[in-house]
Structure 1
Amino acid sequence: MKMKKLVFLIAMIMLCSIGFAGCGGKTSESDSLWDFEALEKQTPETEDAGYTYAGNENIKGIYFEGAEYNGEATKIFAFVGVPETEKPTNGYPAMVLVHGGLGQAYGDWVKLWTDRGYVAIALSVDANMTDSANKASLNERGGPRISITPADMKNPANSWEYISVANIIACHNILRSMDSVDKTNVGITGISWGSYLTCITVGVDTRFKFGIPVYGAGYNHEDVTGELAGVFQMDDESLAIYRERFDPSVYMKHCKIPMFWLAGANDHAFSLACNQKCADLNQGRNTYSWRGKLTHGQQPGDGSGLHEIFVFADEMTKSEKGLLRVSEGEVQSGGISLRVENVGAAKADFYWSSYPLEYWHDAMNVWERESVAIDGDTLRTAVPQTAVFGFVEITDENGNIVSSRLFTF
């Protein structure tokens, strides 16, 4: 009996070592790495970095204590900005901004949002700090660099993914602690690896009103020819742990908020097929902007290049008219039929590929494009017999680009 009690005690100690918040709070879902009930209560103290972004007194550099890494507290850098306009009665809407690989906490990204009337916070998820001129340098106490390794699967609490999502939730807590913020109107957007983290976070932190993933989502371990394929070449045991506890698809199935998905069919890192499969798990309303061609990078994805991001956010937070809405569509008799509403359609193109997923990132892969007939609020196009995948890209009367879902034929 004593031996059984000892074994049970050891097992409980091992379980408690997994979470940043410790063992004692309940996880929102049994398969979650994060104890959200504990994390949402932890608003870290902030420390002034001593400078503003490019002389903008409303955008300050700060540090906050993040999740532990290698048993030590981290000191995470972020830029946080408040609009210079008069505060609305209920406070400003707000955004959490999550950068991608080779990125940093960008002051100019925060400014894009403060100029539009949002409080915004952009944190580093790659052990960086950023100076007043937007130049990055290594932050020795900034936690892990961007990585996904078999070692992370064995020690989840020390992984880049676990620590980054915990720090993103901390940023959300910081925003919600500010008197200037409308707590009912907080969204999140991420770019590339930041988009990947966004798709995890919205399934863990249920307080966000909407999410905007740009380029990346889940199921990347199924995309064997993407630029990121090497990241997921793990041993079978590690890959099984990744699929069950780390991939965004594990968490997206718990998401119940409006999501705006943006990516290009020509993306070298993430495929539309994997993105669509992940988006289909969302229980909230999905809006798509799949595009035939889209450059992958910070500026194209931060709103300075994709202005639809701001249109969607304003619709969510300010009750503005927003983007054209597209029906799920019907595929029958060798064609696709779609209905649109809210805004008129001005132009539409059907992009299709005869190549299966394993060739999507191959240099020989070709996406074909054909014009789509617009009849009032109805769009129709024929589907070639050789098509494997296809989507309709639509430009509305205001020049905004949205799309249908990605169809598999």
Structure 2
Amino acid sequence: MEKIFTLFLFLPIFALAQKESIWDLEELYKTPKYEETDLVNKKGVKSIFYESIDYKGKPTKVYAYYNIPTTERPENGYPAIVLVHGGGGTAFEDWVKIWNKRGYVAISMDLEGHLPSKNHQDRKNFEGSGPSRHGVFHDNNEALQDQWYYQAVAQVILAHSFLRGLPEVDTNNIGITGVSWGGMLTSSIAGIDDRFKFAIPIYGCGFLNGTDGLMGQHFKNGNQAYRDNLLTNFEAEAFLPKATMPILFINGSNDAHFPIPAMMSSAKAPKSKTYLYVEDGLGHGHPPAWDVEESYRFANAIIHNLPLMDIQKTTWDHSKMDFSAVVKGVRPRKVTAYYTFDKGKWQKRRWNSTPGNIKGTKVNAPIPEEATAAYLIIRDVKGMSLTTEVIFDTSDKQTMK
């Protein structure tokens, strides 16, 4: 039977568009009051509490690490970045230092009302702390403003406003990146806070409803109020179409939580230019995410207005077993094709690789006709890698999930 292949399309699920933000952005865009603290001090970073929004009628504050680079200060100030942790995460001083060494002012905050510690079970609350995350949006019966995701979005936007209030920071060059849950928050906030210069969601994304990942399974709990609350108010599917900054989506080929189809739909949603980087076998966690060099290369390209590869016209001619794309901008140096023969759950698919070819602005690679999904990773002459769109077999309904 003849196979039909097509570019990945949006998942056919769309949240209701919001006319106005459910967050008070006028207040969140103000520089929050903050105080330095001696609690959980770490060498090489500053420890602070900054004020956040009310939780159950009482004012709250957030614990964070931030620091200024020791590199020479640019004429207009340092670029900066907001670092959004994932599940089990906290304020990470090491993450701040990683970006400091690359010339960025950085802030990392605990979004679950804790003081940071290495062991999640040992983390303590403090007077004035906000809510902790309760499962996967399992606090949906609380008032909207008292739900964790609502509070976390506000805390991240306030961290951005804090950075903008520092005299050392170039307010025109502040980005955001997040890991897992932090990637979900980053994807949502990209369509809420348009002051950001760039966004880099790692693993986490939107369009999870109907996907076969662990996050997507929670949409199948039969609770329509839960689904409506999530899709309308929090899921990045509702916000990414409003995003105006360049975005780099980073993911692993077999991520258990955020499968490739959700990332692809997320990347197609914004008004702005988006980029993809899929790494075969990328582990899920904070350290693996921090090790992905493409995030730093992308940030520098946006901040310094450097050219990036523009991957266009991705096609798969299965009759000729030829997968190809046109690359403009920075010249390609190396091409590797990844493909799978498997169907079913994305996290269980095994991927094969084969070298590709470069001829001028066109890159291509031979892909077996029996393959069910494929993409190219293209490394440019400056050392950065980006990924083409995924192309898949439409006879396999699982590829839509």
Quickly name the TM-score band, shorter chain normalised.
0.7 to 0.9
Question: Is the contact made by 2:40 and 2:116 (CA closer than 8 Å) also made in structure 1?
Answer: no
Instruction: Give the Cα–Cα distance (whole angstroms) in 1 for the partners of residues 119 and 167 of structure 2.
Output: 28
Q: Which residue of 1 aligns with 2:11?
A: none
Q: 1:279: how far off?
A: 1.3
Instruction: Give the Cα–Cα distance (whole angstroms) in 1 for the partners of residues 297 and 241 of structure 2.
Output: 26
Q: Which residue of 2 aligns with 1:5?
A: none
Q: 1:284 aligns with which of 272, 276, 279?
A: 272
> Does residue 325 in structure 1 map to residue 313 in structure 2?
no
Q: 1:102 aligns with which of 74, 83, 88?
A: 88
Amino acid paired to 1:257: M
Instruction: Give the Cα–Cα distance (whole angstroms) in 2 for the partners of residues 405 and 161 of structure 1.
Output: 30
**Matched positions, count:** 372
Amino acid paired to 1:392: L
> Does residue 50 in structure 1 map to residue 35 in structure 2?
no
Q: 1:77 to 1:231 in 2, by over 3 A?
A: farther
Q: 1:82 aligns with which of 68, 90, 108?
A: 68
Q: 1:252: how far off?
A: 0.4
Structure number with higher relative contact order (C-alpha < 8 Å, ≥ 6 residues apart): 2
Q: 2:132 aligns with which of 139, 145, 148?
A: 145
Instruction: Give the Cα–Cα distance (whole angstroms) in 1 for the partners of residues 138 and 120 of structure 2.
Output: 33
Q: Which residue of 2 aligns with 1:39?
A: 28
Instruction: Give the Cα–Cα distance (whole angstroms) in 2 for the partners of residues 326 and 48 of structure 1.
Output: 46
Question: Is the contact made by 2:251 and 2:260 (CA closer than 8 Å) also made in structure 1?
Answer: yes
> Does residue 352 in structure 1 map to residue 308 in structure 2?
no
Question: Is the contact made by 2:267 and 2:275 (CA closer than 8 Å) also made in structure 1?
Answer: no
> Does residue 262 in structure 1 map to residue 246 in structure 2?
no
Percent identity over the alignment is: 30
Tell me the secondary structure at the aligned position of residue 127 of structure 1.
coil
Q: 1:222: how far off?
A: 1.8
Amino acid paired to 2:315: E
Question: Is the contact made by 1:222 and 1:274 (CA closer than 8 Å) also made in structure 2?
Answer: no
Amino acid paired to 1:351: Y
Tell me the secondary structure at the aligned position of residue 239 of structure 2.
helix
Question: Is the contact made by 2:377 and 2:388 (CA closer than 8 Å) also made in structure 1?
Answer: yes
> Does residue 340 in structure 1 map to residue 327 in structure 2?
yes
Amino acid paired to 2:154: A
Instruction: Give the Cα–Cα distance (whole angstroms) in 1 for the partners of residues 191 and 130 of structure 2.
Output: 23
TM-score (norm 2): 0.85
Task: Point out where structure 2 has 5 or more consecutive residues left out of the alignment.
Answer: 1-16, 394-401
Instruction: Give the Cα–Cα distance (whole angstroms) in 1 for the partners of residues 56 and 260 of structure 2.
Output: 36
TM-score (norm 1): 0.83
Question: Is the contact made by 1:52 and 1:132 (CA closer than 8 Å) also made in structure 2?
Answer: no
Amino acid paired to 1:367: W
Q: Which residue of 1 aligns with 2:350?
A: 366
Q: 1:183 to 1:133 in 2, by over 3 A?
A: farther
Tell me the secondary structure at the aligned position of residue 130 of structure 1.
coil
Q: 1:273 to 1:146 in 2, by over 3 A?
A: same
Moved over 6 A (4+): 131-136
Q: Which residue of 1 aligns with 2:261?
A: 273
Q: 1:125 to 1:210 in 2, by over 3 A?
A: same
Following superposition of structure 1 onto structure 2, how do residues 128-143 of structure 1 map, counting pairs within 5 Å?
A: 128-130=114-116, 137-140=123-126, 141-143=128-130
Question: Is the contact made by 2:336 and 2:356 (CA closer than 8 Å) also made in structure 1?
Answer: yes
Task: Point out where structure 1 has 5 or more consecutive residues left out of the alignment.
Answer: 1-27
Tell me the secondary structure at the aligned position of residue 352 of structure 1.
strand
Post-superposition Cα deviations, 1:181-204, rounded to whole Å, max 9, x if no partner, equal 111101000011101000011100
Question: Is the contact made by 2:140 and 2:229 (CA closer than 8 Å) also made in structure 1?
Answer: no
Q: 1:230: how far off?
A: 4.7
Q: 1:382: how far off?
A: 4.2
